[in-house]
Structure 1
Amino acid sequence: MVSSATHRKTKANHRTVYTILVILGICHMLNDTLQAVIPAMFPILEESLGLTFTQLGLITFTLNMVASVMQPVVGLYTDKRPMPFALPLGLASSMFGILGLAFAPNFWMILISVLFIGLGSAIFHPEGSRVAYLAAGPRRGTAQSIYQVGGNTGQALAPVITAFVLVPLGQFGVIWFTAVAGLAVIFLIYIARWYASMTPAVAKKEKPEQSEKVNKNVSRAIRHALVVLVFIIFARTWYAKAISNFYAFYAIENYGLSIAESQYYIFTFLLMGAIGTFLGGPLADRFGKKNVILFSLLAASPLALLLPHVGATGAIILLGLLGLIVMSSFSVTVVYAQELVPGNIGAMSGLTVGLAFGMGAIGSVALGSLIDFIGLTPTMVVISLLPLLGMVTFLLPSDKKVSEWHVDR
């Protein structure tokens, strides 16, 4: 019995468990496909229920705020008391939310359904990130990318869902995604069993590290780095949400496209964003996390400034490049935060990913209201400035410096 536990621990610590990572990435894709249904419904809901842009923003706000507020809480709790079977339970909550969306007759019932989906997401993400960390071995950036690319791929399916499911079937067509949730629950039961087998070894490994590092006051330099990282996530998330939630309306208004045709623009941005997410981790393992974060925003800045001023063909090309570059830092910021505070893997994952949800929530309401106030085209011009805020990445400590902090502490 002892040798078996030791063998599992050795496998987790010294080599990358790709089987677990791939299945986990698939589960992340299925989970985020359920979330992607919500913005995918926006054009349908605008027509069927006559919702305003502000109300659409409030729907996203409800989804993302529940997820963002709860994720760090879940992460902090499970850092002390791992809960492997919370993973399938979280997806079960999302399944009930999807079922509610299919039958929701008004704005308020949509919000209640979205609450269940947000709660499921809040449980899934920090625990999923912890499993990715356990299965990573020495390739933390690569492992986090495999996990996160599943989520970005699920989000990229939103315009496809709109074009091929919601446009022909309407709101009730959402009911088919309960099958997606059921499949994810089955996969996550398998993941939870592997996670549960790892829990005793993880507890033994982390306990001394936590007593030495986590129970001490976080240094001023680490707090400063976390503040800078939060600001970077803010800039990236607001820009990505502006494109994924509202660019379809811009394309319809400026290029004379149908709802279905406009979704190809969003699909291009999100699909290339998924590819960028996957590439970011291996690049960070090779060239450094800070360098990838810096590149993801500064290299995107001139393309973002150009986007509102090109035609239909140029726009879809720029959207692909922007998705690839901007989202290359998504998984990297998670790993960077985990290495800043290595004793709180779940909490740091909940903070960074949950923060992305929260910033997206606030951004959706603010941008929706701004569109109602000044119009669609001026808002798209304003948000093109956001990637320039990536200049603050120069304030982050280098990867080598972060490693030295934890050797010294």
Structure 2
Amino acid sequence: MENTRKKPTTPETNQTVYSILFIIGICHLLNDSLQAVIPAMFPILEESLGLTFTQLGLIAFTLNMVSSVMQPLVGMYTDKRPMPYALPLGLTSSMIGMLGLAIAPNFWTIIISVLFIGLGSAIFHPEGSRVAYLAAGTRRGLAQSIYQVGGNSGQALAPVITALVLVPLGQFGAIWFTLIAGLAVFFLIHISKWYAAQMKIFSNNKTNSTIKKPDKNMSKAIKGALIVLIFIVFARSWYTAAISNFYAFYAIESYGLTIAKSQIYIFTFLLMGAVGTFFGGPLADRFGKRNIILLSLLATAPFAIILPYTGPVSSIILLALTGFLLMSSFSVTVVYAQELIPGKIGTMSGLIVGLAFGMGAIGSVALGSLIDLLGLTTTMIVISLLPLLGFLTYLLPTDEKVREWYA
């Protein structure tokens, strides 16, 4: 007798609910802009509280590790027990953290505040991804792109936040971001009502379809594919961490730029990364997820390799191209993982996105040590080889093969 298990279904499977997708995308922008405030505040905190670079590194590590480690755990729990109203509760936690950050008198108060923000982010990301999945209809790549581009846009705001808010207002300027968190809570209450209604319809649906339970060979293939995805996330996250955290120093050293002008390079990379995130999903819906993941890294590789040898103007163009191409696979990787293991929407989102945060945190520390050891230029040359790991994508099963497994 064929071994089967229930396949989770979602109401209105074929209908893409754009209003929900745009709202959850805006909430993702607001959530990730809160996270962007923390590294943007580093020069302010160094001056106002006299923090050392080690302490600043611990703050960044705390934020990224809490949000990354907790994400798959939250996803695993909510896959079994969906919690629609966890979304506004998560952003309330972030709002408390932002308030603490604005008035923190010492290092340990900042660490506690960052824990609240990291926890809020860990709750938001897997549940936000589930909302995008529920609202996607047949356009899962596009839905994840709309959702993820909000987050990438929020991260790209860090240089703007530094220049327009934190420099003139100082540490207490972070108080304004409690209003941003409050706005996100307001939107997420609406989202949660829709989410709860979808879950109610789902629980009343008595005609769930079935899919084959993975056999031994299929389970082995799935595990192998997940390992390949982890290496791909590693390559993308470490390269992104290198550019986001250290390229400004490279531009200052190599091109003789000011701190303010060096931020243009980072902003260009992050902004075009957000654009790439948006376009990657629709392209994956049309040309296949595996193909876009492959193209994303391998097309980035030649531009990344050339980048350390170019001048100040051409490097901006190359950063725009690498940002666009590299991040075009971000949302696609999430959807690929979700389809690789159906029914584990939160777990897979938490794993892939949380892994990206965690890899970025570890990468920042490791790359900083590498710069101290080898110097900026040599490190930039070494990390330019990371996108070549995109060749591992050939080891992933095709989209058609994944669909055959569960047909």
TM-score normalised over the length of structure 1: 0.92
Residue 11 of structure 2 contacts residue 202 of structure 2 at CA under 8 Å; is this kept in 1?
Answer: no
Question: How far did 1:52 drift?
Answer: 5.2
In structure 2, what is the equivalent of residue 356 of structure 1? 356
Provide closer, same or farther for how the CA distance between residues 325 and 368 of structure 1 changes in structure 2, counting only shifts above 3 A.
same
Query: What one-letter code is carried by the residue in structure 2 that aligns with 1:334?
Result: V
Q: For 1:190 and 1:215, locate their aligned partners in 2 and report how far apart those are by CA, in whole Å.
A: 41
Of stretches 269-278 and 209-218 in structure 1, the one that deviates more from structure 2 is 209-218
Matched position secondary structure for 1:300:
helix
Residue 10 of structure 2 contacts residue 202 of structure 2 at CA under 8 Å; is this kept in 1?
Answer: no
Residue deviations 1:250-291 (CA, integer Å, cap 9, x gap): 222332333322221111111100100000000000000001
Residue 10 of structure 2 contacts residue 134 of structure 2 at CA under 8 Å; is this kept in 1?
Answer: no
Q: For 2:342 and 2:10, locate their aligned partners in 1 and report how far apart those are by CA, in whole Å.
A: 19
Query: What one-letter code is carried by the residue in structure 1 that aligns with 2:238?
Result: W
Structure 1 segments unaligned to the other structure (5+ residues): 1-8
Question: How far did 1:244 drift?
Answer: 1.2
Residue 14 of structure 2 contacts residue 138 of structure 2 at CA under 8 Å; is this kept in 1?
Answer: yes
In structure 2, what is the equivalent of residue 337 of structure 1? 337
Q: For 2:11 and 2:365, locate their aligned partners in 1 and report how far apart those are by CA, in whole Å.
A: 45
Provide closer, same or farther for how the CA distance between residues 394 and 10 of structure 1 changes in structure 2, counting only shifts above 3 A.
closer
Residue 290 of structure 1 contacts residue 399 of structure 1 at CA under 8 Å; is this kept in 2?
Answer: yes
Residue 149 of structure 1 contacts residue 275 of structure 1 at CA under 8 Å; is this kept in 2?
Answer: yes
Q: For 2:209 and 2:77, locate their aligned partners in 1 and report how far apart those are by CA, in whole Å.
A: 17
Give the number of the structure whose residues are more often helix, by fraction: 1
Residue deviations 1:289-344 (CA, integer Å, cap 9, x gap): 00100111111111111112212111211111111000000000000000000111
Residue 10 of structure 2 contacts residue 198 of structure 2 at CA under 8 Å; is this kept in 1?
Answer: no
**Residues 1:141 and 2:141 aligned together:** yes
Q: For 1:264 and 1:207, locate their aligned partners in 2 and report how far apart those are by CA, in whole Å.
A: 54
- What pairs up with 1:267-278 in 2 under 5 angstroms? 267-278=267-278
Residue 75 of structure 1 contacts residue 347 of structure 1 at CA under 8 Å; is this kept in 2?
Answer: yes
Q: For 1:18 and 1:374, locate their aligned partners in 2 and report how far apart those are by CA, in whole Å.
A: 49
In structure 2, what is the equivalent of residue 65 of structure 1? 65
Provide closer, same or farther for how the CA distance between residues 49 and 364 of structure 1 changes in structure 2, counting only shifts above 3 A.
farther
Residue deviations 1:69-102 (CA, integer Å, cap 9, x gap): 1111111111111100100010011111112222
Structure 2 segments unaligned to the other structure (5+ residues): 1-8
In structure 1, what is the equivalent of residue 179 of structure 2? 179
Aligned residues: percent identity?
A: 74
Matched position secondary structure for 2:257:
coil
Query: What one-letter code is carried by the residue in structure 1 that aligns with 2:139?
Result: R
In structure 2, what is the equivalent of residue 161 of structure 1? 161
Matched position secondary structure for 2:406:
helix
In structure 1, what is the equivalent of residue 5 of structure 2? none
Residue 75 of structure 1 contacts residue 346 of structure 1 at CA under 8 Å; is this kept in 2?
Answer: yes
Residue 281 of structure 1 contacts residue 332 of structure 1 at CA under 8 Å; is this kept in 2?
Answer: yes
Q: For 1:343 and 1:73, locate their aligned partners in 2 and report how far apart those are by CA, in whole Å.
A: 15
Query: What one-letter code is carried by the residue in structure 1 that aligns with 2:200?
Result: P
**Residues 1:402 and 2:398 aligned together:** no
Provide closer, same or farther for how the CA distance between residues 305 and 64 of structure 1 changes in structure 2, counting only shifts above 3 A.
same
Provide closer, same or farther for how the CA distance between residues 49 and 305 of structure 1 changes in structure 2, counting only shifts above 3 A.
farther
- What pairs up with 1:2-17 in 2 under 5 angstroms? 12-17=12-17
Q: For 2:145 and 2:177, locate their aligned partners in 1 and report how far apart those are by CA, in whole Å.
A: 25
**Residues 1:83 and 2:54 aligned together:** no
Query: What one-letter code is carried by the residue in structure 2 that aligns with 1:314?
Result: S
**Residues 1:393 and 2:393 aligned together:** yes
Query: What one-letter code is carried by the residue in structure 2 that aligns with 1:228?
Result: V
In structure 2, what is the equivalent of residue 192 of structure 1? 192
- What pairs up with 1:2-401 in 2 under 5 angstroms? 12-49=12-49, 51=51, 53-203=53-203, 213=213, 219-401=219-401
In structure 1, what is the equivalent of residue 4 of structure 2? none
Residue deviations 1:127-170 (CA, integer Å, cap 9, x gap): 00000000000000000100001101111111111122222222
Question: How far did 1:397 drift?
Answer: 0.7
Residue 218 of structure 2 contacts residue 405 of structure 2 at CA under 8 Å; is this kept in 1?
Answer: no
Residue deviations 1:16-50 (CA, integer Å, cap 9, x gap): 00000000100000000001112222344455555
Of stretches 168-177 and 106-115 in structure 1, the one that deviates more from structure 2 is 106-115
Query: What one-letter code is carried by the residue in structure 1 that aligns with 2:383?
Result: I
Give the alignment's Cα RMSD to 1 decimal.
Answer: 2.2
Residue deviations 1:207-242 (CA, integer Å, cap 9, x gap): 956896489997110111011011101110111111
TM-score normalised over the length of structure 2: 0.92
Q: For 1:218 and 1:400, locate their aligned partners in 2 and report how far apart those are by CA, in whole Å.
A: 14
Provide closer, same or farther for how the CA distance between residues 52 and 250 of structure 1 changes in structure 2, counting only shifts above 3 A.
farther
Question: How far did 1:55 drift?
Answer: 4.1
Question: How far did 1:125 drift?
Answer: 0.4
Provide closer, same or farther for how the CA distance between residues 168 and 210 of structure 1 changes in structure 2, counting only shifts above 3 A.
farther
Question: How far did 1:60 drift?
Answer: 2.2
Of stretches 389-398 and 202-211 in structure 1, the one that deviates more from structure 2 is 202-211
Q: For 1:21 and 1:273, locate their aligned partners in 2 and report how far apart those are by CA, in whole Å.
A: 19
Q: For 1:270 and 1:57, locate their aligned partners in 2 and report how far apart those are by CA, in whole Å.
A: 21
Provide closer, same or farther for how the CA distance between residues 215 and 298 of structure 1 changes in structure 2, counting only shifts above 3 A.
closer
Residue 214 of structure 1 contacts residue 343 of structure 1 at CA under 8 Å; is this kept in 2?
Answer: no
Residue 17 of structure 2 contacts residue 135 of structure 2 at CA under 8 Å; is this kept in 1?
Answer: yes
Residue 12 of structure 1 contacts residue 136 of structure 1 at CA under 8 Å; is this kept in 2?
Answer: no
Residue 60 of structure 1 contacts residue 364 of structure 1 at CA under 8 Å; is this kept in 2?
Answer: no
Of stretches 220-229 and 52-61 in structure 1, the one that deviates more from structure 2 is 52-61
Q: For 2:47 and 2:301, locate their aligned partners in 1 and report how far apart those are by CA, in whole Å.
A: 34
Residue 212 of structure 2 contacts residue 405 of structure 2 at CA under 8 Å; is this kept in 1?
Answer: no
Residue 68 of structure 1 contacts residue 356 of structure 1 at CA under 8 Å; is this kept in 2?
Answer: yes
